Amino acid sequence: QDLSYPIPAIAARAARKEDPFEVWGTGKQGRDFVHIDDVLDLTLLAMDKISDGTAINIGMGKLTSFLEIIELFTSFAGYTPTIKPLLDKPVGVHSRYCDMSWVEEHLGWKARISTEEGMRRVYDAAVARVKAGE
């Protein structure tokens, strides 16, 4: 994902220990974050098991707010910043997440990488980039 997208950008700001920590809107808007390894696993499974073109959702089936993401990254970084909402910035839809019940029932699939573990991997990569001066 491009480093300017929200998750890698938030991770980099946490790695630099930004304080105050700016968030677009209130930060209460949320998304369904799923690790790319899980996306690939389900895609390959679906290619093998679905032959009629049935569309499926790919996600965790869990809404996580941007404030929760900031809290995760800053806890990895070992600090608690002041959150500064930027209410004049665009925020998109308030929430977007998947109903994974069909996939779980028919394909027996659930994401294996937790949101915390996936974000830890993103954070560690951000720390490496910050240390390298990127």
Structure tokens at 16: 């630099």
What pTM value is reported for the model? 0.90
Question: Can you state the angle between helices 115-131 and 66-77, rounded to 10 degrees?
Answer: 60
Residue 30 contacts residue 95 (beta carbons within 8 Å): yes
DSSP letters for 75-92 = HHHT--PPEEEETTS---
CA–CA dist 62, 80 (Å, integer) = 24
pLDDT value, residue 134? 78
Tens of pLDDT, residue by residue over 25-81, are 999 999 999 999 999 999 999 999 999 999 999 999 999 999 999 999 999 999 999
Q: What is the pLDDT of residues 100-133, one digit of tens each?
A: 999 999 999 999 999 999 999 999 999 999 999 8
Domains of the chain: 6-131 (3.40.50.720)
